[in-house]
Amino acid sequence: MADFTLDDLIQCYRSGVFPMSDARDDEYLFLVDPPMRGVLPLDGFHLSSRLARTVRNTEFTVRVDTAFNRVIELCAEAAADRDNTWISHAIQDLYEALFARGLAHSVEVWDSDRLVGGLYGVSIGGAFFGESMVSRATDASKIALVHLVARLKAGGYKLLDCQFLTDHLRQFGVIEMPREDYKARLAEALLVDGDFYDLAAAATGKGVLHVVTQTS
């Protein structure tokens, strides 16, 4: 799919499919439309008391959209549990173009001037498609996820797509739903105009927890 364009990518997300590659240096990508989809209901987010304390008391700083490219690169690095990544250079280029268009975002966790974790994803309408998360310090990716959920709730989003259900994601309340149900939920979310910046960029841990624990 060498002629795959940014507009093609946007249409894929609107249709409920997403791209992957087999390796970092792979020139090609393929589209994934899984029969079961991982979704995190924003009002069903599971926040343990330990994680809540961590978010409230952490000395890390959480920022939004200040180092999008670096977050992707950190996510793409080899890790102890995998030698390769689905985030090819070609896919990274597409996401960076989405970011430039305002359709992709990063939540970053910093220890002073060192990026120690975070996540990034695609934002279209009232749907946020979580792509990857990374942690280079204890609980860094979890802190980023809590901040993301708060930001999506504050901004009126209706769907947080996690692609696949994993044991790691299950602890946060991620569920699986059949493809048909997911695409119906997606169609509804796309009608909403979500605002990723409704929550203040410098929102405190206490403020984030207040948003996360509210139910609509």
We report the CATH number of the domain holding residue 163 as 3.40.630.70
Higher pLDDT, 81 or 196: 196
The predicted structure's pLDDT at residue 78:
56
The predicted structure's pLDDT at residue 178:
98
Q: How far apart are CA 198 and CA 64, in angstroms?
A: 12
What are the Cα distances from residue 16, in Å, to 21, 26, 121, 153?
17, 23, 14, 21
Q: Would you place residue 198 in the very low, low, confident or very high pLDDT band (cuts 50, 70, 90)?
A: very high
Residue 81 lies in a domain: yes
Tell me the per-residue pLDDT of 61-89, one tens digit each, with 9 for 90 and over: 999 999 999 999 998 885 555 456 778 88
The predicted structure's pLDDT at residue 52:
96
Tell me the per-residue pLDDT of 111-156, one tens digit each, with 9 for 90 and over: 999 999 999 999 999 999 999 999 999 999 999 999 999 999 999 9
Higher pLDDT, 150 or 202: 150
The predicted structure's pLDDT at residue 201:
79
Number of domains in the chain: 1
Residue 142 lies in a domain: yes
Residue 77 lies in a domain: yes
Residue 2 lies in a domain: no
Residue 24 lies in a domain: no
Residue 28 lies in a domain: no
Domain range for 144: 38-213
Tell me the mean pLDDT in the region 105-109: 98
Residue 157 lies in a domain: yes
Residue 192 lies in a domain: yes
Burial class (CB in 10 A: 0-12, 13-18, 19+), 10: middle
